[in-house]
Structure 1
């Protein structure tokens, strides 16, 4: 009887030790998830918006086409860097609207023009209180590209010093927002996130991070392709609903966010594939996900024009791309979520 009692105690201690090891492993995974995936991506975006500010100051000193095109190209680099960060827009970060303040689309061009016409104060303090529809990366795009008209954008900037000041202040406010976001993570949220192991998805690191992968894929499909192309509830085509349509950079941003989803799932040093493959030892789900990623990339590359032009011309390749996102997302929202015991939250198709 004594031997049986000792055996039971030994088993219980082993189970407790294993649970403690699992918890430590979980904490380490999500702590590293922040250090390896989230922080470098946020820091990279910060670096690009700082370059944006430098180029804007150069343009202010010499307002010419060469410097404007330099600014336009940098905007594309900057917004591409931001697209990568959207995979990490979850939990309290999303609740604090950093994403909306940094890049909200569509912008309100009428209000932007009214602010410029009235010569309202353009500084960091005033911008902090203004609507996200007249600041952020979307406003920068409008000021730099106008409505797909570089010559008009240049003329407007050349003839109005306040317009250039507005351009600079929007860039500086965007830097202020990313600095605040990084500080929010560093000042405690990274620890809160990495140790979140509650039953509720809002208090569970795995559920938050994996749901954001699902959200990014769904927003790409519904908001950034389906609605503008008339493939959702309405068959009305409206290419002005596209993200970054003024710069005709919509498709590139979809691809960028897709690449970050793929990286964090399979190729990062801290990735979800390692967890999935530990459970699914056949590795069949990861194989199917890899095939579907390849399919989506192929369908993106098959569109030889801008997405704006493809949608305008009702190119059937847009629908093919839309459908391939459905298949890829199903692997995450159905198969992956089930395998990881993750509750799938409703997707916010009005943003990221």
Structure 2
């Protein structure tokens, strides 16, 4: 009888151990799900948006009306916001392929764009392969749609020159081609490399690389997209033409879109970092503090009731409040959260995302 009880107890213990082993930790699920839950949806949404822009461009080619043009302008913003979310996943190996610069480089060179249009040639992938990133991508499309903050002139130029529409379609098709290359890079190999990257070294650890990119995006926004244009970084001189999307007056919308995606990856996604931090620390304190810091940034964005370009031009003090709140958010990520996660913080590339 004792032997029966012993073996029964042993079976219960073994079953219990099996159950414990089958419960995946948040750290494991992050590695497994970060691509499917975060990266892939962001990339696919951007592809959908650029395909819609091409469709609307074809319609505009047939009828160069103000109504069709307004739809294109609205769609440009949809594309730019969608792409701003993909920047959150522009990890080191991805960045090394320069997809981001080919899809959306800024600032652009209007003179070079005009010279390209004046060539009146076939604007296909062969043509754009040899052209600088300052004359193509979403930055070039913004210039075509909004000129130098003069959308009425932009429409008139399209109506006067069909080669301008050809250039628009060529640039848009090239963006789509680069987007397909970016998606293929992930799906045809790098997602598996990312999944299995569990080395102690940060550059070979998926969790470390992904978290560093969140820090990088926030710091690039603080320095490159707010600080330098506003004269708050190393120089008191404003640099308005270095401001992203100032022609369309969309700078704040793109900043907010990127920050929302950082928050999604950190807290809201099924594959998020907050759950891991709470598991390690046994507390929601830092999660609540970071959430409060996000809300502070959003409040400061909303408090600017003009374009960021105009706010900087008029020395609106709310710009500096936004800059400071971004700095607070960056510190939470790069110091407190990184410490709990035992993540090595890599140098930030403030020249891009």
Partner of 2:123: 122
Partner of 1:101: 102
Shift of residue 198, structure 1, vs aligned partner = 1.2
Which whole-Å CA distance do the structure 1 matches of 2:90 and 2:149 have between them?
Answer: 29
Shift of residue 27, structure 1, vs aligned partner = 5.0
Which whole-Å CA distance do the structure 2 matches of 1:64 and 1:283 have between them?
Answer: 54
Partner of 2:303: 302
Which whole-Å CA distance do the structure 1 matches of 2:119 and 2:36 have between them?
Answer: 45
Partner of 1:155: 156
Which whole-Å CA distance do the structure 1 matches of 2:306 and 2:204 have between them?
Answer: 43
Shift of residue 281, structure 1, vs aligned partner = 1.1
- Summarize the alignment of residues 271-282 of structure 1 with structure 2, pairs less than 5 Å apart: 271-282=272-283
Which whole-Å CA distance do the structure 1 matches of 2:317 and 2:236 have between them?
Answer: 14
- Summarize the alignment of residues 141-152 of structure 1 with structure 2, pairs less than 5 Å apart: 141-152=142-153
Structure 2 length normalisation: TM-score?
0.92
Partner of 1:180: 181
Partner of 2:212: 211
Partner of 2:57: 56
Is contact 1:264-1:270 (8 Å) kept?
yes
Which whole-Å CA distance do the structure 1 matches of 2:90 and 2:51 have between them?
Answer: 21
Partner of 1:317: 318
Which whole-Å CA distance do the structure 2 matches of 1:220 and 1:351 have between them?
Answer: 9
Pairing 1:132–2:170 present: no
3-state SS in 1 of match to 2:233: coil
Shift of residue 202, structure 1, vs aligned partner = 1.4
Partner of 2:42: 41
Shift of residue 260, structure 1, vs aligned partner = 0.5
Is contact 1:52-1:171 (8 Å) kept?
yes
Which whole-Å CA distance do the structure 2 matches of 1:248 and 1:219 have between them?
Answer: 19
Structure 1 length normalisation: TM-score?
0.92
3-state SS in 1 of match to 2:342: coil
Which whole-Å CA distance do the structure 2 matches of 1:120 and 1:161 have between them?
Answer: 11
- Summarize the alignment of residues 257-268 of structure 1 with structure 2, pairs less than 5 Å apart: 257-268=258-269
Pairing 1:235–2:236 present: yes
Which whole-Å CA distance do the structure 1 matches of 2:251 and 2:243 have between them?
Answer: 7
Shift of residue 214, structure 1, vs aligned partner = 0.3
Which whole-Å CA distance do the structure 2 matches of 1:29 and 1:345 have between them?
Answer: 20
Is contact 1:31-1:190 (8 Å) kept?
no
Partner of 1:195: 196
Which whole-Å CA distance do the structure 1 matches of 2:45 and 2:57 have between them?
Answer: 19
For residues 269-290 of structure 1, the C-alpha deviation after alignment (integer angstroms, 9 at most, x for no partner) is 1110010000111221111101
Which whole-Å CA distance do the structure 1 matches of 2:286 and 2:130 have between them?
Answer: 47
Shift of residue 127, structure 1, vs aligned partner = 1.3
Is contact 2:29-2:271 (8 Å) kept?
no
Long gaps (5+) in structure 2: 1-13
Shift of residue 185, structure 1, vs aligned partner = 0.5
- Summarize the alignment of residues 17-32 of structure 1 with structure 2, pairs less than 5 Å apart: 26=27, 28-32=29-33
Root-mean-square deviation (Å): 1.8
Which whole-Å CA distance do the structure 2 matches of 1:119 and 1:199 have between them?
Answer: 54
For residues 311-346 of structure 1, the C-alpha deviation after alignment (integer angstroms, 9 at most, x for no partner) is 110100000000000101100001111111111111
Which whole-Å CA distance do the structure 2 matches of 1:148 and 1:269 have between them?
Answer: 40
Is contact 2:107-2:139 (8 Å) kept?
yes
3-state SS in 2 of match to 1:346: coil
Moved over 6 A (4+): none
Shift of residue 121, structure 1, vs aligned partner = 3.0
Partner of 1:76: 77
Is contact 1:36-1:270 (8 Å) kept?
yes
Is contact 2:88-2:214 (8 Å) kept?
yes
Which whole-Å CA distance do the structure 1 matches of 2:259 and 2:138 have between them?
Answer: 20
